[in-house]
């Protein structure tokens, strides 16, 4: 019955829905004594955090995954989410799982940036989010909100980590962008620190200097045109200034990102939704989103940005959450044209 009323459509996947297996997660020893391994994996640092609010790991961390083959993100049968990051202290791998009966999150981290990731665990799981501020004013949003009480808006505190894959998604299909992200991270990133029995194929994204030094032919082989690669190089050269945006209010953070040529409203919003947990960072300039929201809330599949913003006006301060709940509901207009054709300029 759950599948009938909550279908896993491409629209829902775009809304950040990621399935996390309902396994029995390992628990760091010395943190919680019940059944589990005798101790944290070698070299791991551990932490537990009592969320007290029934966080859904798949919905909360799902927007950080860039496709099913993302080399920086994995889910495992034991109910854990594995995420790699390049923190200000260096590369790190985080494994986080949830004890559903108590709402307590258990985390282990490896690498030079392990402490930084563990310190940010509450924000990553939505501790700075305020879901009570959202008041549904449409029947569809009320139903979507009620069915997903564990949805929280994540905050990574890392701008470049979300900005670069978002630039890769400009003007191409998601499949093309995911392929480019996978190829570039696996070629220029670092193998993720962690236990030998961790998920295979995990990598940490390259540092800013490495992004700036990728040669033009490797961008081409990855299917990234000169416009997007140049924008990424410009971002990498001012990475430190961009990272400061993670501590700014939304208008100032948006202005900081959009000061870089090649970064517009669509890219800045998609980035700040993840790095800053910005509940009001509504995405404009999108090819499909206005039509999806217009169709879901007003039956108008031809809505433009102005009409979308008018429909979302009652949710001021929570417009990104409202848009996500529409996407998660999977209520998209039926197709009336073929999908955008996939291309691979790397073959040219």
| 9 has a pLDDT exceeding 80 | no
Could you give the C-alpha distances from 153 to 92, 150, 194, 322, in angstroms and in order? 22, 10, 26, 12
**What are the pLDDT digits (tens) for 256-273?**
999 999 999 999 999 999
pLDDT at 24: 62
**What are the pLDDT digits (tens) for 19-56?**
888 766 555 544 443 333 334 555 799 999 998 778 99
Q: Give me the mean pLDDT over the 223-245 stretch.
A: 98
**What are the pLDDT digits (tens) for 72-131?**
999 999 999 999 999 999 999 999 999 877 889 999 999 999 999 999 999 999 999 999
| 330 has a pLDDT exceeding 90 | no
């Amino acid at each position: 019955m759950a599948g009938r009323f909550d279908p896993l459509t491409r629209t829902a996947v775009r809304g950040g829905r990621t399935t996390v297996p309902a396994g029995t997660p390992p628990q760091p020893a010395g943190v919680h004594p019940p059944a589990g391994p005798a101790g944290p994996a070698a070299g791991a640092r551990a932490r537990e955090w009592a969320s007290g609010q029934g966080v859904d790991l798949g919905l909360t961390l799902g927007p950080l995954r860039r496709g099913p083959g993302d080399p920086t993100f994995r889910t495992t049968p034991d109910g854990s989410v594995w995420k790699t990051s390049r923190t200000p202290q260096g590369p790190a791998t985080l494994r986080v799982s949830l004890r559903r009966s108590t709402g307590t999150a258990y985390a282990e981290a490896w690498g030079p940036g392990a402490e930084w990731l563990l310190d940010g665990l509450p924000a990553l799981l939505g501790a700075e989010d305020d879901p009570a501020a959202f008041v549904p004013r449409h029947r569809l949003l009320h139903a979507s909100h009620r069915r997903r009480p564990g949805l929280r808006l994540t905050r990574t505190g890392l701008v470049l980590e979300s900005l670069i894959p978002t630039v890769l998604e400009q003007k191409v299909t998601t499949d093309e962008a995911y392929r480019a992200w996978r190829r570039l991270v696996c070629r220029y990133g670092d193998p993720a620190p962690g236990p030998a029995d961790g998920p295979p194929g995990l990598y940490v994204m390259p540092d800013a200097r490495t992004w700036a030094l990728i040669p033009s032919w490797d961008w081409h082989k990855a299917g990234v045109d000169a416009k997007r690669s140049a924008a990424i190089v410009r971002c990498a050269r001012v990475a430190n200034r961009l990272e400061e945006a993670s501590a700014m209010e939304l208008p100032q953070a948006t202005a900081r990102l959009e000061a870089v040529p090649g970064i517009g409203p669509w890219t800045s919003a998609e980035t700040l939704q993840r790095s800053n947990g910005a509940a009001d960072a509504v995405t404009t300039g999108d090819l499909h989103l206005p039509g999806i929201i217009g169709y879901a809330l007003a039956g108008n599949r031809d809505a433009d940005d102005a009409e979308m913003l008018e429909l979302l006006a009652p949710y001021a301060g929570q417009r990104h959450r409202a848009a996500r709940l529409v996407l998660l509901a999977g209520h998209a207009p039926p197709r009336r044209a073929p999908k955008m054709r996939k291309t691979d300029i790397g073959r040219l």
